[in-house]
């Protein structure tokens, strides 16, 4: 008589929740104002406006774009506004910040859009490792999103979990 192997994880009723599915998929671009500084220090309005007119904005089409300045320079507020006015018609998203801030913002926006009704009274395991670096803010956001509806929330893998929340 052969022993039957039973997959207890599959029979447990746990739902594995992978935050990587909500990672932003649009191409990301950085618009660095440093490239438009005179002597790496000063933004000259006339030269800056001329450079923006010569920019191929189609390079940013349907992309998530972060406007930043990687040089230690004082950038007037109107410069960010001017770049945003060129990007708005072509880019999917435009923010001021780093690439990581852009990823975080879009990931949190994707999490916020999740319909949690399918997770009502379910036992959920939020996957803890994968191919992409998921920021801590995403784990906090999904916990806040699922807690009102879930029966329980765990972190890790179905075979090895850390309990986070259990409805009483």
List the chain pLDDT tens, one digit each, 168 residues. Answer: 567 654 454 446 899 999 999 999 999 999 999 999 998 889 999 999 999 999 999 999 999 999 999 999 989 999 999 999 999 999 999 999 999 999 999 999 999 999 999 999 999 999 988 899 999 999 999 999 999 999 999 999 888 899 999 998
Q: Is residue 76 part of a domain?
A: yes
Specify whether 66 is located in the same domain as 49: yes
Give the number of other CB atoms < 10 A from CB of residue 55.
14
- Does any domain span residue 143? yes
Among residues 91, 125, 141, the one where a domain terminates is 91
Specify if 101 maps to a domain: no
Q: Is 67 exposed, middle or buried (0-12, 13-18, 19+ CB in 10 A)?
A: buried
Q: Is residue 52 part of a domain?
A: yes
**Which 8-state DSSP code applies to residue 159?**
T
Which whole-number Å values give the CA distances from 11 to 6, 7, 162, in the listed order?
9, 7, 19
Cα dist from 168 to 118, 142, 148, whole Å: 20, 20, 12
Statement to judge: residues 36 and 84 lie in one domain = yes
- Structural domain including 116 reads 8-23+109-166
Do 51 and 13 belong to one domain?
A: no
Burial of 110 (0-12, 13-18, 19+ CB in 10 A): middle
Domain tally for the chain?
Answer: 2
**Same domain, yes or no, for 14 and 66?**
no
**Is the overall model pTM greater than 0.75, yes or no?**
yes
């Amino acid at each position: 008589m052969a022993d039957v192997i039973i997959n207890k994880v599959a029979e447990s009723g746990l739902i594995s929740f992978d935050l990587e599915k909500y990672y932003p998929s649009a191409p990301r671009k950085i618009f660095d104002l440093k490239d438009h500084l005179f002597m790496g220090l000063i933004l000259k309005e006339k030269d800056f406006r001329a450079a923006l007119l010569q920019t191929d904005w189609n390079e940013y089409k349907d992309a998530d774009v972060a406007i930043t300045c990687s040089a230690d320079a004082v950038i007037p507020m109107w410069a960010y506004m001017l770049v945003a006015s060129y990007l708005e018609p072509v880019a999917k998203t435009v923010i001021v910040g780093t690439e990581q801030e852009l990823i975080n913002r879009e990931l949190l926006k994707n999490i916020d859009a999740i319909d949690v009704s399918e997770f009502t009274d379910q036992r959920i395991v939020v996957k803890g490792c994968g191919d992409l670096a998921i920021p801590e803010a995403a784990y906090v956001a999904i916990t806040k999103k699922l807690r009102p509806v879930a029966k329980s929330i765990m972190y890790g893998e179905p075979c090895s979990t850390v309990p986070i929340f259990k409805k009483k």
